[in-house]
Amino acid sequence: MRKKQTTTTDDKWPSSTLAVRLPIAICLHLISVFALILYCNLLSTTKNITIFVLIAAIAGISSAGNVITLSILSTEIGNKKYQGLITSLCNLATKLGAFCSGYPFTLIALLFGWHGTYTILMIINR
């Protein structure tokens, strides 16, 4: 005798929290890009250190918050059976990317200066 298959609410995809967190991740990306554009434009025109610290804080908060939000999104999208693996791979990718970006970023800064480096970062982030 066959049993009737029932679906639970856990099997629905995408989850309702995905619809909430995805716009937050997109907004954090846009804030980060805006902070880089502002930093690049103000770098050559002003020497006020408080403005640079404020813009750096905005860029840091938006990029660090986005890593956490994207890690949560990858966990929610993935299979429930492999959530630990998905979380560890996502965290590995972010840490490895942060580690490997230091040397190329330094080379770009030596070749093009800081203004050119932030311009390249703006192009990459779009």
Q: Please name which of 123, 110, 121, 114 lies closest in space to residue 43, comparing C-alpha atoms.
A: 114
**pLDDT at residue 8 tops 80:** no
Angle value at C-alpha 101, between 96 and 103, nearest 5 degrees: 120
CA 26 to centroid of chain Cα atoms: 9
Question: If you count DSSP H runs as helices and E runs as strands, how many of each does the chain have, helices first?
Answer: 4, 0
The whole-angstrom separation of Cα 43 and Cα 53 is: 12
The whole-angstrom separation of Cα 107 and Cα 100 is: 12
Report the pLDDT value the prediction gives residue 29, as an integer from 0 to 100: 82
**Percent of the chain, pLDDT > 70?**
84
pLDDT in tens, 59-71: 888 777 777 777 7
pLDDT in tens, 34-78: 888 888 788 778 778 888 888 888 888 877 777 777 777 777 777
Task: Provide the 10 A C-beta neighbour count for residue 28.
Answer: 20
Mean pLDDT across the stretch 107-117? Answer: 89
Report the pLDDT value the prediction gives residue 111, as an integer from 0 to 100: 92
CA 104 to centroid of chain Cα atoms: 19
Task: Provide the 10 A C-beta neighbour count for residue 111.
Answer: 10
